[in-house]
Amino acid sequence: MLTRNISLTLHLQLRFIINLAKSSLIPSQVIMMVHLGALMDTLKGMVKPTLDKVQQITQVSQAGPPGFYGTPPAGSRPYGSLPHHRA
């Protein structure tokens, strides 16, 4: 407790801005935090996507780009059927 207060006081004196809402001031072996859409588990040394990110990736991968799945767009040619140029 005393060390934490000393540390906070020093950081404030050095003009650091401390966001107490996002800070973990009590030492812990396990830190589960979300950063840039990834869930970080420091004890296991693992980084996983959040459930929200998994759902977003699943939706995008199922939709695919237009014309990628099923019938090709009207007026398109199959791969490899490019016009041949004669010299």
Domain boundaries, the chain: 28-63
Please say whether the beta carbons of 51 and 39 come within 8 A: no
2-36 confidence digits (pLDDT tens): 777 888 899 899 999 888 887 777 776 666 777 77
Out of 2-6, 27-31, 52-56, 61-65, the most confident range is: 52-56
Task: Please state the φ and ψ torsions of residue 63, each to the nearest 5 degrees.
Answer: -70, -45
Side-chain-side CA neighbours of residue 72 (13 Å): 5
Contacts of 38 (CB under 8 A, 6+ apart): 47, 48, 49, 50, 53
pTM of the model: 0.39
Please say whether the beta carbons of 47 and 38 come within 8 A: yes
